[in-house]
Structure 1
Amino acid sequence: MRTQSVLNLLVIDDDQLYAERLVHLLDGYYNTINLGFLDDKEELLKLLRQPWDVLVFGNAYDMSFTDVVGIVQEQGVDLPMICLMNEEMAVSANDDEGFPDIISGTMVKALKVEQEMAVVMSICLQHDNLRSRRELKMLRRVLSEAEQRANVLIKNSKSAVAYIDQGIHIFANDPYLQLFGFESMNDVIGVPIIDLIAGGDNVKGFKKFLRQFDKGSRQEVEFEFESVRTDGSTFEAKLQLAAATLDGEPVTQVIIQQNNTNSAEVAKRLAEAERKDSLTGIDNRRGFEEEMARVHQQARQGLLTAALLYIQLDNIGKISSSLGLQGIDATVKQVAYTLDDLITDGHVSRFSDTGFTVLVEDKTAAELKKLAEVIGSRIRDMLIEVDKRTISTTVSIGIVKIEQNTAEPSVVLERAMDAIHQVMVETSNHGGTYHMYDPSEHANSDDHALAESLIDAIANNRFELSFQPIYDINNDRSDFFEVYLKLPLADADNTVLTPDQFMGVAKTHNLLEKIDRWVLINACKKVNEVRKNHPEARLLVQLTSASLIDKKLPNIVSQLIKAVGGAAGTLTLQFNEKAISDHLTVAKTQFSALSQVGCQMGINNFGSSAKSIEIASFVQPDMVRLARSYTEGLESADNLEAVKSLIVRTNDINVDVLMPYIEDAATMSISWSVGARYLQGYYLEEPSSTIKVVN
């Protein structure tokens, strides 16, 4: 029975057949086994840069087992090691030559080489042990971070909070000190909590209450009593207990509320806190939704007109690659402060990680466009200081008017997102400008006309495909082709529509799956003809989010791969990073199912979010195609470093990188050196209606 999904096994030995036998025996316990095999020191130093789960040592050209242990320890790698002993080595072990039965109980074991199942069981156990250590390390980090956040919140809380250990105060925040009349924390540390309880019956009842809590009972966590201040005055109070940690040690948290506290005022403060963004101090998504509901209701009643501006940071992927979370936080905070300063007669909120909303009232279309220009200009001119480095950013803005006959708030928000998408279309994914949603551009009559053309194109094969070669640096060949779709219209101007011009309507009329199916079938027909003379030819096909969630897709793809020769890797499907992020769990299942039928998987527009590496690690694609912004401005040292950093991190998780949009010689010369496996662009070759394999 398979108990794990992936094992990264590193074998140091001069017998590769033995390593392959181990892999065969381990196959019953793992879905995937990545084998690294070597027998010399130089190769070991290289391979230790990659993540491994277990190291098995037999015989090496220029290393002893002691050497290997030293190298691994010098590199600071947590890597279980298993030493294999033959008869000669076993004799040495008896002569105290350095091969004991166990070296570090959970790390290194010495086993006889011929006892293969014992070696296999030891590998599985050591891997389980390593996973437990990694999970424990992660949990400790999460606990430490949670404790740090909790302590910051408590110190800044207006509630009276203290920590006690065995009934003795060890910490109290300012409201707690003020409530009981202590001048400083030094005055309360060491004071038993029962000294703050008035009356013998109260003290007796509290001791019993505290003993029950310390024993693990959580049925009662509140205790009402009369409390006494340092000056002898008393007040009615309610005490609440909770388990907590302080500096990693278990303690008991105490929250005390005066019974005469104005509950309405407390509720008001809590409501205000819940609608505030902790990083920027402006309203969060909940605050936006409440304000949006108010504005929308008044607009429906004809009391006002309003508008929503959705503001999206453009180059957050680059900032993340260059400066990590620190750079993202600094950028988000400065943009938030700038918006809050600019919008004096409206409502600003942080809607998502890198998205903001602005609600303004009673502005004309011209005034809204002017406001968007001012916002874009002010943010574009900002200089953001992060760790002695200066960065900048731009924003894309979607504008939607809210009037008496406007749609529901969710639809208004969706239209703002559509306007952002239109900005990206108009600027070839550069962003940095605004687009106002115009209902007349989305009238039902126009939608229906285009939908009819799409249905006709599917039924009568009126779509057209083009194919652009991708150069494979590793294999020095260009027999890998990306497929592009377009729709010629039968009009006097010979108009040709690209997917960004018709996919919105296709989605509205539930045609995405049918279009994806048409592309897959017809692209495979084309490559099938080519593979008769060039059997290595293969395709990269972009599909929509509709196919990402289509459970029938793996079966269809399996049949198509068999139809074109049945070779694994003939077909690579790629999905947009945003679509994968929106359907993350479904995407992982779909990627796995497609991989099992011999289809390779890719992510398009990769690096466009702050969590690109995490997304790739989760769904495990074979390759990624970088977002357009990474190919631009490579002459800048910061931009080049951001690209290299992203590619290195992607390669570290065993995913190949495609560098697209190479349009000139300068970009081409730099692209060779950044670590990408695949290169693509008009400088290499333009898309063509035929698949041309150049040997």
Structure 2
Amino acid sequence: MQAKEAIRLLICSESQQEAETVTSLLRNSGYPTRAHLIENIDGLKAKLNDQVWDVCLCYLEMEHLSGKTVLNEIQGQGKDIPTIFLHDEIDSIQAEKALKSGAVDLVPSGEYNHILQVVLREVKNLHMRRELREAAALLRESEKRCQVLLESAKDAIAYIQDGMHLFANESYAKVFGYEDADDLLTIPLMDMVYSKDQGRFKIFLKDFNAGKARSAEFQCKMLDVAGKDVDSRMMFARATYEDEPCVQVMIRANSDNFELEGKLKQISSQDLLTGLYNKHYFNEKLADAVDQAVISGSHGAIAYINVDAFGKCKGEVGIEGADMVVCDIGHLIRSKCREEDLVARVGEDCYGILLHESKSEQAIGFAEHIRKAVEEHLVAVDQRTVQVTCSIGLALINESSRSPKEVLEHAHEASYYVRKLEGNEKGNGVYLYNPAELANTDSERLEAKLLDAIKNNTLKLLFQPVINLRDETGEHYETLLRLVDTDETDISPQEFLADVSPELRRKLDRWVILNAGKRLAQQRAQGNDTRLFINLTNESLIDETLIPWIQKLLAASKLPPHSIIYQFTEADAISHLKQAHSMTRSMNKLGHKIAICRFGSAIDPFKLFDHVHTDYVKVDGSFTQELNTEKGMDGLKTLLSSISEHEKASIVPFVENANIVAQLWTSGVNFIQGYYLSGPSTQMNYEFSDD
């Protein structure tokens, strides 16, 4: 698992407490944040030159710095840093003035949830702009390489705009007997098509230009420079040439093996079991449909059809029988579709349908038609009859579609969501992907699922080794909680904790402490000097009843207190500083050690040590991501050195390759953790002696 990339935040404010509140809000929402407080223009200039920043939060009016000055400096340096103005009282005139000046928004100060949403929106927009700039640079580089390849290519290639040749390579010129490709630049393509084929060619071009196909082929006779016939196959595709929209034409003379080529192409796009198209071909055509929707505003949809309880069916009829079911259902689906619909097998028991020119109501009606047909269909398998149902997820294709992969993921997610709908627990339903609806109902179902998992003791604990680089005694593991989903996949707390109630977070913490304690007792009974890091939520920091409960548990388990290390996040400790001070002091009195994780994102993180005693400090995972740069390594070494000066043991997480280990070996870090060393496991059986 990779750490999230840190949000780099400039905060122009006179109040450090206000700045800490904003950064804590971001961290509590799951976004690692590197913030810096700016109090004057010199500090702003220095920081703008220091590194790349993602967002600037700026109070509109300050004693030593104004929002206008900040914005002028950012714009003057040509920096793409979205600037959000904050002010106590806002009216429409102020908001209009702020937007005209170049700020991306004017938000009421103190409205922290509003500020959070605006920051996240602008970070997303910034990443898209960066991706666009990178894509444009890559496109320019690709176009340069393509031009070189075009000029020397053996294939006959030309670019056509408004019927005229913009460019033709030497191979294209040779096909038609021209000595110089530039001679073709004054000749319309239509004039090179045999007169009897021109009528068909005009109709083909009309359909192609109307967007009915992203790419297409046309066979006809063409004329060379001497007026002789050339049997040709033209392949058309939309393209750009020197930033101008045009059509790419590739011409191949018809040959004796044309029929064979066609058969090979058909075979390569076909699923051998069902005769439907295969997943690769489906993805190609889906990409064409998404591109066309983005470019010309066309629309469509895809249906992802998942056979319900297919594993049970396979167990009843065997592998060959299951293949017969898959084949028969595939033929049924194909028979219910229009001729222009593309039907493919995209998984063992899954089908995809690409619906052209289909809007939401049409797609839902069509999918319901398919669902009912499958439900009523009887499949003959040897001497028995099999009846199955299916769950169908729909996703729309329109000008807002970001990528083919995302559209397919949405349809796939919608097909699984069918089983979460009331009355469709076993499937046999249709659902159109709606992210807002998914979020609203999922939180309620998630809470019920977690309560059920606690009641039935079906939550899972994993243990990931934390490796000591300083030859100290003891085997350390971090305890990781997982919720097991209906499809047997593990769900991390990062995916669900933000959506559950405070009371449920407290229950989850106690379940982890109790069950991790049992596992620890078993491990130590085998003669291992094992110690566990146990993560606790912010709700446990403010839970006054937790310490008496832990005291009773410790007495009953007879575990040595130093074998349990309770771990809180930096953001939670800062947000509940008074409670963190009281809680950690009480835990220290019991003999437990304390760890602070995701450390280093606060404006002045070391102030935390003035109020909270901690034995271990795990730096934020975003620092590890930046070790591929000299500046990133220097920054981490400085942080680790300061942690050591405060007499705390440091931990670096997300160690994913040997290169990182080599860099960290001389950095002064005490512990390292990551998948390169060992991933989380249900067992505590890592061979620490091999390190």
Question: What's the TM-score bracket when you normalise by the shorter of the two chains?
Answer: 0.3 to 0.5
TM-score, normalization: structure 2?
A: 0.42
Choose between structure 1 and 2 for higher RCO, CA contacts under 8 A separated by at least 6 residues.
2
